[in-house]
Amino acid sequence: CNLTGLWENELGSTMQVYKVDNDGTFSGVYQTAVSSAKNPIQPSPLIGSQHLDEDGQCTFGFTVNWKTFSDSTAVFVGQCFNGDDGKEVLHTSWLLREKVDSQPDDWKATR
């Protein structure tokens, strides 16, 4: 699949991918629906890369910098699947790194 377009997850978060270049790189905006930040949620920039496989079930990864409302960064990795109904579906896993005040607190910084 080509990731260009608007994607929405089951929680209501959206990812808008503007364009996937010939080498698989892309950029866009992620609007999360959930956050533990104290500031109001804002759209956040993302940048990533995907394999452009012939079978359309590509793997991909992207980074979201929540700099507009938080001191954290998230990375997502996933794969696109062609569902039984013919729709493309993304399955992802993520890691979120929050800023902590000291090295001893490092253990609690990644979810």
Beta carbons within 10 angstroms of residue 5's beta carbon: 14
Task: Please compute, for residue 28, the number of CA atoms within 13 A of its CA located in the half-sphere on the CB side.
Answer: 21
User: Was domain 5-100 assigned CATH 2.40.128.30?
Assistant: yes
Q: Which of 59, 57, 86, 62 is nearest to 73 (CA)?
A: 62
| pLDDT of residue 96 exceeding 90 | yes
* DSSP letter string, 70-88: -S-EEEEEEEEEE-TTS-E
Boundaries of every domain in the chain: 5-100
Whole-number pLDDT of residue 55: 76
| Position 21 pLDDT exceeds 90 | yes
Model-wide pTM > 0.95: no
DSSP annotation of 101: S
If one compares 85 and 63, the residue with the highest pLDDT of the two is: 63
Per residue in 43-69, pLDDT tens? 999 999 999 877 778 999 999 999 888
% of the chain residues with pLDDT over 70? 100
Other CB atoms within 10 Å distance of the CB of residue 99: 10
Structure tokens at 70: 């938080």
More confident residue, 33 or 14: 14
Task: Decide: 63 and 48 in contact? Cβ < 8 Å.
Answer: yes
Predicted confidence (pLDDT) per residue in 28-45, tens digit: 999 988 887 788 888 999
